[in-house]
């Protein structure tokens, strides 16, 4: 499989990465090189093989349903580019 220029633009938008028109051909070439490389997986017989979900056989640990953290709003907003009080500021989202 390979991707065309329209698909490259669609992927970029899905990934929320702005891509200018003159970057598209270059990206298309790189993505297609990667897709050509992974193409060899199609020759593997995976009939009846379970997909891996956990590399070490272990039970998912469950923690106690208790509050063990919090009251750190100052810490949470400390690195934000724009805040007001304990809120993150963003451009208007809802009309």
Give the start-end residues of each E strand in 1-95: 83-84, 87-88
In this structure, what are the phi and psi dihedrals at residue 49, rounded to the nearest 5 degrees?
A: -90, 130
Query: Binding to other proteins by residue 81, rule CB under 8 A?
Result: yes
Cβ atoms of 52 and 46 within 8 Å: the answer is no
Q: How far apart are CA 16 and CA 67, in angstroms?
A: 34
Query: Binding to other proteins by residue 70, rule CB under 8 A?
Result: no
Among 2, 6, 17, 86, indicate the residue that binds other proteins (CB under 8 A).
17
Query: Binding to other proteins by residue 66, rule CB under 8 A?
Result: no
Among 22, 71, 75, 84, indicate the residue that binds other proteins (CB under 8 A).
75
In this structure, what are the phi and psi dihedrals at residue 74, rounded to the nearest 5 degrees?
A: -60, -45
Under the rule (CB under 8 A), what is the footprint of other proteins? 1, 3, 7-8, 11-19, 27, 30-31, 33-35, 37-42, 44, 46, 49-56, 58, 60-61, 63, 72, 75-76, 78-82, 88, 90-91, 93
């Amino acid at each position: 499989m390979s991707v065309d220029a329209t698909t490259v633009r669609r992927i970029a938008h899905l990934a929320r990465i702005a891509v200018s028109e003159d970057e598209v051909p270059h990206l298309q070439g790189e993505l297609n090189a990667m897709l050509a490389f992974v193409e060899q997986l199609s020759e593997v017989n995976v009939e009846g093989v379970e997909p891996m979900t956990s590399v070490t056989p272990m039970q998912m640990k469950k923690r106690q349903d208790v509050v063990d953290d919090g009251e750190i709003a100052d810490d949470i907003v400390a690195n934000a580019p724009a805040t007001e009080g304990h809120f993150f500021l963003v451009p208007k989202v809802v009309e």
